[in-house]
């Protein structure tokens, strides 16, 4: 697994995530890295373009969740939308272990995981290949000197837009006011993306299909969650 940050190439983007491991992973979950992970692992994006159609033949949609944390949202969405292929990326290994447990317990057949930086996956996906992109509570890096580590930067926003199909949607959720403003400014400046909000309620009220995770429940930010939804035109 390419999770050792010291192994990253010098031209890799700045780390947008914190720790990649915390407490010891329980033996049952650790075993899933050997048994289940090989079955659900996304092809290595460093090996070249990812052939999405080969990942789940017959998939009607392809979704990408960036930074799935413990995989609660990913697993619920996968169970609700069995005909959609769910690609989840997360470098935090305890989170990946938890996602593997959800996949096993839910007998989910439509999830593929990348246990590392989503930006490499986004680069390797064909343009116009995604129906939905979900970025939920990304690390806020709220001190000004850390803002450059934020996932949402102009070039990445443009790349995300290119990967969406026309009519595809991108959801960004944060409970940090400043990051919401930062992301909104950058997405609005991204060619091909249109913000779907008509009124305040559209960004203050959770979309119907939103799934609350334990992380969201902690309310670590400085505002109630803000939901930004964009469409690729």
Q: How far apart are CA 113 and CA 217, in angstroms?
A: 24
Q: Does 216 bind ligand SAM (CB under 6 A)?
A: yes
Nearer to ligand SAM, 71 or 168 (CB): 71
Tokens encoding 137? 């509570």
For residue 207, the minimal CB distance to ligand SAM (Å) is 14
Q: Looking only at residues 63 through 82 of this chain, which bind ligand SAM when binding is defined by CB under 6 A?
A: 66-69
Q: Does 227 bind ligand SAM (CB under 6 A)?
A: no
139 is catalytic: yes
Binding mask 103-142 for ligand SAM (x = CB under 6 A): --------------xxx----------------xxxx---
Of 169, 148, 161, 117, give the one whose Cα is nearest residue 8. 117
| Burial 120-153, CB ≥16 within 10 A → b, else e | bbbebbeeebbbbbbbbbbbbbbeeeeeebbbbb
Q: Does 202 bind ligand SAM (CB under 6 A)?
A: no
Q: Cα 100 from chain centroid?
A: 16
Q: Does 88 bind ligand SAM (CB under 6 A)?
A: no
Beta bridge partner(s), residue 169: 132, 231
Contacts (Cβ under 8 Å, ≥6 apart) of 231: 167, 168, 169, 170, 193, 194, 196
Nearer to ligand SAM, 118 or 184 (CB): 118
For residue 161, the minimal CB distance to ligand SAM (Å) is 17
Residues of the shown chain interacting with ligand SAM in the complex, contacts defined by CB under 6 A: 16-17, 66-69, 89-92, 95, 117-119, 136-139, 151, 213, 215-216
Catalytic residues: 139
């Amino acid at each position: 697994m390419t999770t050792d940050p010291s192994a990253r190439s010098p031209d890799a983007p700045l780390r947008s995530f914190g720790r990649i491991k915390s407490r010891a992973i329980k033996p049952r979950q650790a075993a899933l890295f050997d048994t289940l992970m090989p079955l659900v692992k996304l092809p290595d994006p460093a090996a070249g373009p990812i052939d999405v159609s080969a990942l789940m033949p017959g998939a009607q949609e392809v979704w990408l969740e960036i930074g799935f944390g413990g995989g609660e949202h990913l697993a619920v969405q996968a169970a609700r939308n069995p005909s959609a292929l769910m690609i989840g990326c997360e470098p935090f290994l305890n989170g990946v272990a938890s996602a593997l447990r959800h996949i096993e317990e839910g007998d989910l057949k439509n999830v593929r995981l990348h246990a590392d930086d989503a930006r490499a996956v986004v680069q390797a996906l064909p343009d116009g290949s995604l129906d939905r992109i979900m970025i939920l509570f990304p690390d806020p890096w709220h001190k000004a000197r850390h803002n450059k580590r934020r996932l949402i930067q102009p070039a990445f926003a443009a790349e995300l837009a290119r990967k969406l199909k026309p009519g595809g949607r991108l959801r960004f959720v944060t409970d940090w006011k400043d990051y919401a403003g930062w992301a909104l400014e950058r997405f609005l400046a991204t060619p091909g993306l249109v913000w779907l909000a008509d009124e305040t309620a559209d960004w203050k009220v959770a979309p119907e299909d939103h799934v609350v995770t334990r992380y969201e429940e902690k309310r670590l930010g400085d505002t109630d969650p803000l939901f930004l939804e964009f469409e690729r035109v």
